[in-house]
Structure 1
């Protein structure tokens, strides 16, 4: 679904989901160690820059969703899994970060590879 100005009020009032009913096989499983790709497109991306090249662990598979990077440009849905990935604070911000702190970020399949 392409978000156009005329439907924004309805989407805001009722909520919307980018979940799609496509039979896409997951590439990763809970517990897999993954590395975020060094993804630097010239166009829209939902990948936070501070995650690039970082190691994390898959904690949950949220299911299949339309890929926002393509939808933002009116392209195909490119259905894929979105995962909750746990990163240690030290992995993200270095040795000065608290040893026990972690951050969980929802990351699309296209952004990650097995480590």
Structure 2
């Protein structure tokens, strides 16, 4: 994927371009795995929401392999990796005063996660 510049954005949006990559890369996680989101604070672009950093969740599904936006947005390569839908409880994210049956699903790249301890 080329470096994203303002002159190519309309074409990408108009064609529905995808960051999906057709590479056979072994997933680091499987459905049902407990994961912890890394608490990183990069000075560059990231798709990692601050409110999930350091929190624990469960892998709900694997979406396949995609270009990692944290590197590809800066022309540092695609760094292909799996993207997972991770299930977080509201209690984990926002405290015990929330219902125990409310959940938020967020798509996470491999590099954002580690196995929960």
User: 2:29 maps to which residue?
Assistant: 28
User: 2:67 maps to which residue?
Assistant: 66
Offset, 1:38: 0.6
CA RMSD of aligned residues (A): 0.9
User: 1:50 maps to which residue?
Assistant: 51
User: 2:95 maps to which residue?
Assistant: 94
Offset, 1:7: 1.8
- C-alpha distance in 2, partners of 1:60/1:30? 5
User: 2:42 maps to which residue?
Assistant: 41
> When the two structures are superposed, what TM-score results if normalisation uses the length of structure 1?
0.96
- C-alpha distance in 1, partners of 2:43/2:5? 23
- C-alpha distance in 2, partners of 1:4/1:68? 14
State how many pairs are aligned.
115
- C-alpha distance in 2, partners of 1:4/1:44? 14
- C-alpha distance in 2, partners of 1:76/1:6? 20
User: 2:112 maps to which residue?
Assistant: 111
- C-alpha distance in 2, partners of 1:72/1:10? 17
Unaligned runs of 5+ in 1: none
Unaligned runs of 5+ in 2: none
Q: Deviations over 1:21-76 (max 9, x none)?
A: 11110000000000000111111110000000100000000000000000111111
Offset, 1:5: 2.4
